[in-house]
Amino acid sequence: MGEESFELRRGEEGYPQRLEDLSDPPERLYGIGVAGVLDDMAIAIVGSRRASPYGVATAEMAGRIAAESGLVVVSGGALGCDAAALRAAQAAGGTTVVVCGCGADVVYPQSSRDVFEGAISRGAVISLERWGAPPRRYAFPKRNRIIAAMSESTLVVEAGVRSGTMSTAEAATSMGRRLYAIPGSIYSPQSVGTNELISDGAGIVCSERDLEMCIALDYDKLRLCADGSHSERGRVLSALVASPTRADELANRLGESVITILGTLSDYEARGMVVRLPDGRYSPTAELLRASDRMGH
């Protein structure tokens, strides 16, 4: 995709409709990349600039899963968690949007140049600031509101109690957006904010499975991996793709207990991967079959 610059004015075609949920929507948005992605289903993944190894790892996990679920990942491109989430999403072949606190044609910080370039090639870099504007302290709180507004949900992976990340969470809450947080150690300063958000009612994400479930329920999106990372599901799903089957017959065919197979099928049914037919057989959902065809499974 081309690296085209654009300016979107409020009230005109192409202006992201989700920004209208802000109390004072910006009159103009500057960007480079593909303006059309700004209305796609998106999740904001944000976190501390002074990220711990735990924060970086959870940001990478979240970015990868969101991309594999077909969501646009929106973040700020800053050091630490933001850049980690965006890099992981891009590595997984996903679309990303960087919202920066300087001109959209200015890379800040320089260590995130690859993140900006990855967003432009398959997504966008956007800003409220004019072309060429250097980073200014006052621009970042405004930027954080845009990150929250551009996304149906916001996931905070790591944050101190007083941080820009927390202002993004507050903006999401004020607009009625869904807010999630990943818990951390009670002894870690970088997790005080996320633990506080959970205490105040944010949805808790404790594992990859939790995040998959949140995305499935909120966006009606099923995470599909072509890299075999869900190989433990292969035997059951492969058998069902071949032919819809009752749980007891499936257990006998695979040499597993009926209880184990029923538990697995219940889990898949909750994830939207299989459906129970009126005659008691289980079958893959149409969405899973279409995705399997696309991936050549």
Convert the pLDDT of each residue in 188-202 to its tens digit. 999 999 999 999 999
Convert the pLDDT of each residue in 77-122 to its tens digit. 999 999 999 999 999 999 999 999 999 999 999 999 999 999 999 9
| Domains, the chain | 5-219 (3.40.50.450), 235-291 (1.10.10.10)
Convert the pLDDT of each residue in 119-136 to its tens digit. 999 999 999 999 999 999
Convert the pLDDT of each residue in 18-42 to its tens digit. 999 999 999 999 999 999 999 999 9
The answer, yes or no, to whether residue 229 has pLDDT greater than 80, is no
Convert the pLDDT of each residue in 247-278 to its tens digit. 999 988 888 888 888 888 988 888 888 889 88
- Measure the CA–CA gap between 288 and 273, rounded to whole angstroms: 6
Position 294 confidence tier, pLDDT thresholds 50, 70, 90: very low
Q: What is the pLDDT of residue 2?
A: 42
The answer, yes or no, to whether residue 60 has pLDDT greater than 80, is yes
